[in-house]
Structure 1
Amino acid sequence: MRPFHPLLAAVAVLAIYVLPAQAIEIKEVKSKGGITAWLVEDHTNPLIAMQFSFLGGATNDPKGKEGTANFITAMMDEGAGDLDSAAFQTQRDDLAMKMSFDSSFDQFQGSFQTLSAKRDESFALLRLALAKPRFDKDPMDRVRDQLLVSARQNEEEPENISSRAWMQKAFGDHPYARESEGTVASLATITQDDLRAMHKQLFSRKGLKVAVVGDIDADTLAKLLDETFGDLPDTEPPKPATMIHVVDKASTQVIDRDIPQSIITFGHDGILRADPNFIPAYVTSFILGGGGFGSRLTDEVREKRGLTYGVSIGLYPFDHAGLVFGQLGTRNEKAGEALTVVKDTMKKFADEGPTTAELTETKTYLTGSYALRFDSNSKIASQLLAIQQDNLGIDYINRRNGMIEAVTLDEAKAQAKSISDPDKLIVTVVGKPVGITPSAN
């Protein structure tokens, strides 16, 4: 009898409850003002979800003022136009409208939901927030205090310390090495003028991408696109970060902290999303360590030896860099053993590649679980926006599973050599690790 595999069991359950992503019909809607959106109509519930993004993000923070873009994400519902913070939030709550923002290194993203009955009023309030945020001093000071609490926690949180040190080793003085949420020092220097200047840079129709799902038709959406985004300038998006590779030099850094567990972050250069080999590399990385239970690293480090509660490694493609990035936590006295097992597992994986059974099971899981990304309007909108951001094409959801199924064992073995190279690992460890010696560089 073939052994039980948790990934396949999960797929069997998913297949019962979730419709396939391929059943979704996506329409491209273009407004009279030239704003384009992808639309999935769904009139079964009186709800509308929208995801949108602008080019630019934390990499555009001024040097010394890291966290500016992230600061704006927390200020977008703190007053706009003639409405101060309290009045704006009261109107938002009266409309039962949801609005939130997030910034990554390369994108500034917004999420919006409204009831169909409150559609026009909710879109009008969103328009006000996008075009005329106030950035008043009192709410800004309050938000700054909240961000400073998070920044202080980040400075003490071992996983964040390890990850941040790894990024600095990997990228040097490139913007990807910065603390995107800001530091205690940088957040203290950010002014109202800084927020206004960053807002002016980021909120451009030329960098805008929009995805809408729910109880709305194409003609109505086209009109609302102009009404909501039409007041934004049609200027060039901020200059993107330069293309960069992870430093091609293995190193080991130990950051001493008096804690019972060592946090080990490890990785090396990876692959861009636009690379034609990304799908084979993605499938292969899932077998190595992206799939949780059933992955090689989990099996060797956790299941066989009990060295950690969790270990993972995966592909992280930014717009202008790709990386293979992993992390685990283990008892200080077992840190050296755990890192050795990780390196040995990666070496064996690079030398031999995955087995036929591993590849088959992983492809079954990845294709079967894809539908989970489309089981709500918000999730669908989020997926459509990500597909736009990565320039994958409006038919991507119809092609994606076929691309995964087409990955051959030879392709997977070839990618195993590039995504699993222990001789190129940059390693940062936070704790008091036994058996790990920092390198001289």
Structure 2
Amino acid sequence: MTIMRKVFFAAVLCAAPLATAAPARAIEIQEVTSPGGLTAWLVEDDSIPFAAVDFAFRGGASLDPPGKRGAINLMTHTLEEGAAEMDATEFAAAVEELGAGISFDVGDDALTVSTRFLTQNRDATAELLSDALSAPRFDEDAVARVKGQVMAIIRSEDTDPQTIARKAAAEAAFGAHPYGSSINGTAESVAPLGPQDMVEALNRVVARDRVVIGAAGDISPEELGQLIDEVLGGIPETGTAPLPSEAEFLAEGGEQVIDWNSPQTVVGFVQPAPEMDDPDYFAAYVANHILGGGGFSSRLMEEIREERGLTYGVYTSLVNGAYAPTWQGGMSSSNASVEEAVDLVRQEWARMADGVSDRELADAKTYLTGEYPLRWDGNAKISSILTGMQLMGLPIDYPDRRNDLVEAVTSDDVARVAQQWLDPEELFFVLVGRPEGVDEASRPTD
């Protein structure tokens, strides 16, 4: 079992697949309603006897009980440790015997249950998944074993400067909101958790009224409807916790230095970003690609790495959080040169308001509209994209319109968005290391 480290600078569920252009061929997405009244999006393809279905429950780890941060993450990764009459070993063997795949994952915005199966084993796989969601065992030894893995990750996070930077940025940006802390929790919040806490955590997030479903492959609408009701028929209609409120961005521009004994300083930076339903979102996305999202072709990479050799890499990204979108970035540099690198980030942040060249704009559009077909090359990827689209509130015809929305962006649009959003004075930096030349006022006091 692998427990994912979902922290602030990680991309929110399915953000990357959503933030690209439409596939080269038309994708026919059907909306399916199960006999029990649950809806799903389906891309049907019977070319091979295989299908994938994803169930995503809104709220995810943001629905942790008060004082028990990390409970939903721990519960999620204990779901595979046995169900009904099967212990962890027996459950894993049953899944393997079917040639199926069942996985559980969680982030700030959703808890996701993914299943992949051969057509001939669809019903048996659905039965196993139903047991996992409606009759998980949460045996004491299984909870303790998974807890040990989580605690090891927490200890590792405390010695990783990149994670330290992400956590500090998250806390500064969002404070007490769940976005302001790691889904893993802390050693203090996780250590007391036991089987009953897992039951409570499950009931907070896994419910029929907050699920979105995507499916792809060799499964008809009727068969999908039956599978949905089989899998979700035993879970509660409503969750015991309300969905989170919108997260207010609290960090003010400036720098926070966290002392770390290293010749390198790790840097994270963050600011607010437009929502995906903002009319200027696609202009912001194109701007981000040119600024720092385009790898070696981006302005930041050219200016900071290629021209001056101050870093091996620097990036920016738009993170489409369900409760607060952010514009984020990161890099590392030597302690002696990191302040120069930070100043260059600010300069490039400001320079975007002057607009971009026709070549920069054309190259960005070519990449963004050409990369998307790779996202749709398998049933598992497609079902994941379909659930992500629903979580973000995108319309069912979004893939057909995505190219046009990117192509419509002009250089004037990019300049306007940069003038509105990219204020270097509001950019918040976290520096983990011993940077030279940093204003002493930015350093924490004992």
User: Which TM-score applies when normalising by structure 1?
Assistant: 0.92
**Counterpart contact for 2:254–2:425, Cα < 8 Å:** no
The corresponding residue for 1:420 is 422
Q: Indicate whether 1:58 and 2:64 are aligned.
A: no
Letter in 2 for 1:276: P
Alpha-carbon shift at residue 299 of structure 1 (Å): 0.8
Deviation for aligned residue 1:422: 0.9
Supply the AA of the counterpart residue of 2:401. R
Spell out, residue by residue over 1:109-145, the C-alpha distance to the aligned partner (whole angstroms, 9 max, x if none).
Answer: 1111111221111111011101111111011111111
What one-letter code is carried by the residue in structure 2 that aligns with 1:100? S
SS at match of 1:333: coil
Percent of counterpart pairs with the same letter? 39
Q: Distance in 2 between matches of 1:249 and 1:226?
A: 48
Q: Is the 8 A contact 2:295 2:301 kept in 1?
A: yes
CA apart distance, 1:434: 1.3
Q: Deviations over 1:75-127 (max 9, x none)?
A: 11101111111211111111121111211112111111111221111111011
Q: For 2:239 and 2:91, locate their aligned partners in 1 and report how far apart those are by CA, in whole Å.
A: 29
The one-letter amino acid of 1:407's match is V
> Which of the residues 154, 175, 178 maps onto 1:175?
178
Counterpart Cα distance in 2 of 1:344 and 1:230: 56
Alignment partners' CA distance in 1, 2:111 and 2:118: 24
Higher mean displacement: 269-278 or 327-336: 269-278
Tell me how far apart the structure 2 counterparts of residues 438 and 371 of structure 1 sit (CA, whole Å).
49
Conserved? CA contact 2:140–2:194, under 8 Å: no
Is residue 39–residue 212 contact of structure 1 (8 Å, CA) maintained in 2?
A: yes
Matched, 1:367 2:369: yes
What is the match of residue 397 of structure 1? Answer: 399
Paired position in structure 2 for 1:264 = 267
* Preserved CA contact (<8 Å) 1:285 1:416: no
Structure 1 Cα separation of the partners of residues 441 and 406 of structure 2: 39
Offset, 1:32:
1.0
**Runs (5+) with no aligned partner, structure 2:** 1-21
Between the aligned partners of 1:219 and 1:241, the Cα distance in structure 2 is 34
> What is residue 31 of structure 2 aligned with on the other side?
28
Which residue in the other structure is 2:6 paired with? none
In 2: Cα distance, 1:366 partner to 1:238 partner: 38
**Runs (4+) of structure 1 moved beyond 4 Å?**
none
The equivalent of 1:288 in structure 2 is 291
* C-alpha spacing 1:424/1:83, structure 2 compared with 1 (3 Å): same
Residue 308 (structure 2) pairs with residue 305 (structure 1): yes
Alignment-derived partner of residue 211 in structure 2: 208
Distance 1:103 1:249 in 2: 29
Whether the aligned pair in 2 keeps the contact of 1:22 and 1:398 (CA below 8 Å) is no
Give CA-to-partner distance per residue, 1:359-415, whole Å, 9 cap, x none.
111111101111111011111111111111111111110011111111122111111
1:109 corresponds to which residue?
Answer: 112
Find the aligned partners of 1:333 and 1:64 in 2 and give their Cα distance: 41
* Distance across 2 between alignment mates of 1:243 and 1:23: 35
Q: Which amino acid in structure 1 is aligned with residue 287 of structure 2?
A: T
Q: How far apart, CA to CA, are the structure 2 residues paired with 1:400 and 1:365?
A: 13
2:260, 2:432 within 8 Å by CA — same for their partners in 1?
A: yes
Residue in 2 aligned with 1:316?
A: 319
State the SS of the aligned residue for 2:296.
coil
Distance 1:120 1:241 in 2: 35
Partner of 2:384: 382
1:406 and 1:318 map into 2 onto residues whose CA distance is 24
RMSD between aligned alpha carbons? Answer: 1.6
- The SS at the match of 1:105 is coil
Alignment match, 1:253: 256
After TM superposition, the score normalised by the length of structure 2 is 0.91
CA contact (8 A) 2:32 2:42 kept: yes
Distance 1:438 1:424, change over 3 A: farther
Deviates more, 1:236-245 or 1:217-226: 236-245
Give the secondary-structure state (helix, strand or coil) at the position aligned to 1:156. coil
Q: CA deviation at 1:275?
A: 2.1
Contact 1:272–1:320 (CA<8 Å) still a contact in 2? Answer: no
Residue in 2 aligned with 1:82? 85
Structure 2 distance, partners of 1:202, 1:78, is 18
Q: Which residue of 2 aligns with 1:188?
A: 191
2: CA distance between counterparts of 1:157 and 1:89?
A: 32
Residue 38 of structure 1 aligns to a residue whose secondary structure is: strand
Structure 1 unaligned regions, length at least 5: 1-18
* C-alpha separation in 1, matches of 2:31 and 2:52: 16
